[in-house]
């Protein structure tokens, strides 16, 4: 124990610790100054921590929730969680902007060379992410591919095209559009579109996606999705609810435990299946707000995503 060490050894432990932690010298510089080997300096620094000469604390700045993030990683087996600050009365648009800024920083700082980025087409939160991003100056060789059909009502389709095209430009990459609706009227219509060479070329990239950026939807469609026309009728939504659906990713629905909700409606979707999303190296779900709590819980319980970016209020409810 510390109290049983000879005073000379305690003095050396303290001196090395002071030079390293307070004066900012590195181990090589300390070794030269005190005529010690660098290995000895390293050993003394470790001992200083073990014996209480040095006590390391991490002060959490306001708006940073590392403990909450780690707790969510452990509870749900997630690779990473990013929690942004919120207030109980924040509106959905405000939460989307905060989530978008966090997602933008995540992409800017973690993007590797030659990534294939899959992005869902009809997410206001992902639009907020693109609006918050800074252009990358480094070459990336990235490809950005829509993983849910981006064709819809002309007024809303502009958003889907802008989302994909702007992200590709921001990361110095190229865009690959899925030139089909996300939801078609029949299986026959789906088969006709899948035979189109441009649609087939985009879908062939699904197996190569290394980073997927997806919104998480509730059963009731968002305003942007509703404007796009890629939505089910009220009768079809009732069928999904009766099957236990609580949310979707790329119009693939799942229940409160994360299990897929299998109905004939699934055959009319042109987009990445959940099983393929699950195999992506980093599948990032970006969603928050009270309306989406059940959907987010289902998504993480089903392990359809392995990175979650959400708000503090939602994170606390998830725990």
Cβ distance 99 to 131 under 8 Å?
no
Q: What pLDDT is recorded for position 161?
A: 83
Instruction: Give the residue ranges of the chain where pLDDT is below 50.
Output: 1-3
Check: CB of residue 247 under 8 Å from CB of residue 253.
yes
DSSP 3-state of 192: helix
Give the Cα separation of 269 and 23 in Å (integer). 61
Of 193, 126, 216, the closest CA to residue 162 belongs to 126
CB of 99 within 8 A of CB of 287?
Answer: yes
Predicted pLDDT of residue 5: 55
CA distances from 75 to 142, 246, 308, 318 (A): 33, 20, 13, 9
pLDDT one-digit tens code per residue, 210-228: 999 999 999 988 887 778 8
Per residue in 154-186, pLDDT tens?
A: 777 777 888 999 999 999 999 999 999 999 999
> What is the per-residue DSSP string for 72-125?
HHHHHT-SEEEEE---TT--HHHHHHHHHHHHHHHHHHHPPTT-EEEE-SS-HH
pLDDT at 231: 82
Q: Are 292 and 212 in contact (CB under 8 A)?
A: no
Cα angle for residues 61, 65, 70 (degrees, 5° grid): 135
Walk me through the domains of the chain, giving residue ranges and CATH numbers: 2-50 (1.10.10), 66-318 (3.40.50.1360)
- State both tokens at 39: 């290995």
The confidence score (pLDDT) of residue 59 equals: 60
């Amino acid at each position: 124990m510390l109290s049983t060490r000879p005073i000379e050894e305690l003095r050396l432990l303290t001196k090395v610790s002071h030079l390293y932690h307070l004066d900012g010298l590195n181990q090589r510089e300390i070794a030269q100054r005190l005529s010690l080997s660098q290995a000895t300096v390293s050993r003394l620094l470790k001992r200083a921590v073990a014996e209480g000469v040095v006590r390391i604390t991490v002060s959490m700045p306001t708006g940073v929730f590392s403990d909450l993030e780690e707790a969510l990683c452990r509870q749900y087996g997630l690779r990473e969680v990013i929690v942004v600050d919120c207030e109980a009365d924040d509106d959905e648009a405000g939460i989307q902007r905060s989530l978008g800024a966090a997602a933008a920083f995540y992409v800017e700082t973690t993007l590797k060379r030659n990534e294939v980025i899959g992005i869902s087409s009809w997410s206001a939160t992902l639009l907020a992410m693109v609006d918050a991003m800074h252009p990358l100056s480094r070459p990336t060789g990235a490809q950005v591919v829509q993983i849910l059909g981006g064709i819809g009502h002309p007024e809303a389709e502009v958003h889907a095209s802008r989302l994909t095209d702007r992200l590709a430009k921001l990361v110095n990459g190229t865009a690959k559009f899925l030139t089909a609706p996300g939801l078609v009227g029949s299986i026959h219509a789906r088969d006709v579109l899948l035979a189109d060479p441009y649609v087939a070329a985009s879908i062939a990239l699904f197996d190569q996606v290394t980073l997927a950026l997806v919104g998480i939807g509730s059963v009731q469609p968002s305003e942007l999705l509703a404007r796009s026309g890629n939505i089910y009728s009220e009768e079809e939504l009732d069928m999904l609810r009766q099957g236990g659906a609580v949310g979707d990713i790329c119009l693939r629905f799942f229940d409160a435990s994360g299990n897929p909700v299998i109905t004939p409606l699934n055959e009319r979707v042109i987009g990445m299946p959940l099983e393929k999303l699950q195999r992506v190296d980093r599948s990032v779900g970006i969603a928050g707000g009270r309306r989406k709590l059940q959907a987010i819980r289902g998504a993480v319980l089903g392990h359809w995503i392995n990175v979650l970016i959400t708000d503090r209020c939602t994170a606390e409810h998830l725990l």
